[in-house]
Amino acid sequence: MASSSSRTGLLVLGTAIVCVFGSVACSSEDGDAPSHREPDPLGAGKRIREVVNPSLKTQGDVDVTGAEVIYIDTFDETQDGKSRGTIYVQDVGSQAPYSGISLYSPSFIPSSLRVSPGDVLDLRGPYVEMQDIGTAHFPTGHKLPQLSTPIGTFRYETPPPAPVEINATDLNDYDTGRKWLNMLVTIKNVTVSDTPFPSGKRLSVHITSNTTRDAVTITNEFYDVQAADIAKDTKFASVTGIVTWFFNYHVVPRSPADLELAAP
């Protein structure tokens, strides 16, 4: 007769055989074996482009996952403390239209988190389309989309995205340009078309033949661009930056490296 310990060994062996060859699922006394599927790196929420696209008419609170920080504005070009702090995020791994948005007054979990470009976040908060800011009232149909006071949770880090190449003339029209708003872009073969001019306390210059108030400009929102850096008739092989909007679109370089001069 087999001992008690032998019977236990046979029972374990038999269970193993059933697990390998049987047609029913096996489980341990601690429950089913854990799944080995990798978690979705993008998360289960919406992509930014599923919120921002105006054809979707999004309103109210949204859950956005897989939003990569592409820039944090720390430069106070107006020197009044009001022109810094905006965080720009973009759908991780995407160059699709409407993949970018700015964050107004976000908070983070944990509260001590200090985000940097390349951080991927999950965001929850109200999606708003601002018709005015303070005493500034935008033209009818022109709105500034933002995630307002969202709560962000850190997920992981990833390399910064490559800029998407666009045509500068796209940004001379509000509706056409909106698909690139808050995204990292690059424009090739740019010639500065007029003399740099102050816009409030900002410095701006037009980069297409259209030099009206609504036309696209380079501005100094992110670092101390000098007028000599963007003088009239300066030719750039490429201009890279974040697309922002306040009555007109701006391509905002993040550093001098974003302004690549054309070969002489």
Q: Which domains does the chain have, with CATH numbers?
A: 49-157 (2.40.50), 164-261 (2.40.50.140)
**Statement: residue 28 has pLDDT above 80:** no
Contact (CB, 8 A) for 181 and 243? yes
* Cβ neighbours of residue 46 closer than 8 Å, sequence gap 6 or more: 62, 63, 64, 65
Which residues make Cβ contacts (< 8 Å) with residue 122, sequence separation at least 6? 43, 45, 63, 64, 65, 66, 67, 152, 153, 155
Mean pLDDT score across all residues of the chain: 87
pLDDT of 25: 42
The SS3 of residue 56 is helix
Cβ neighbours, 10 Å, residue 22: 10
Sign of the torsion formed by the C-alpha atoms of 44, 47, 53 and 58:
positive
The arithmetic mean of pLDDT across residues 39-54, rounded, is: 90
The residues facing 137 across adjacent strands are 132
Provide the pLDDT for residue 199: 75
Range with the poorest average pLDDT among 193-202, 206-215, 245-254: 193-202
- Residue 16's pLDDT is 41
pLDDT on residue 37: 52
